[in-house]
């Protein structure tokens, strides 16, 4: 089924990041997403916190990390 894009006037307001790549003219929008961040309690890392995801594998952080 091909959607008549004139029926979707707000499609022009959707950011390109939410539109699927390689499917120009296909009216589908990503309605969900995930954001991953590193958060920490400064007192738990007196020598400095992890600065990247790779740092999480560093043995010096063993026993001081939790994931939710």
Q: What pLDDT digit, counting tens, does each position of 19-51 carry? A: 666 656 655 666 677 777 778 888 888 888 888
pLDDT exceeds cutoff 60 at 2: no
What's the pLDDT band for 59 if we cut at 50, 70, 90?
A: very high
Q: Is 61 exposed, middle or buried (0-12, 13-18, 19+ CB in 10 A)?
A: middle
Average confidence (pLDDT) over 7-27: 70
Q: Report which of residues 59 and 32 the model is more confident about.
A: 59
The residue among 21, 20, 38, 37 whose CA lies nearest residue 29 is: 20
| Residues 14/34, Cβ–Cβ less than 8 Å | no
User: What gap in Å lies between CA 59 and CA 64, rounded to an integer?
Assistant: 10
Q: Report which of residues 38 and 5 the model is more confident about.
A: 38
How confident is the model at residue 30, as a pLDDT? 60
Hey, what are 64's tokens? 């001081």
């Amino acid at each position: 089924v091909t959607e008549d894009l004139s029926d979707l006037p707000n499609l022009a307001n959707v950011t390109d990041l939410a539109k699927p790549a390689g499917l120009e003219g296909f009216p589908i929008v990503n309605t969900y997403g995930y954001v991953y961040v590193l958060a920490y309690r400064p007192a738990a890392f007196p020598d400095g916190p992890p600065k990247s995801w790779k740092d999480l594998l560093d043995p010096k952080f063993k026993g001081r990390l939790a994931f939710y």
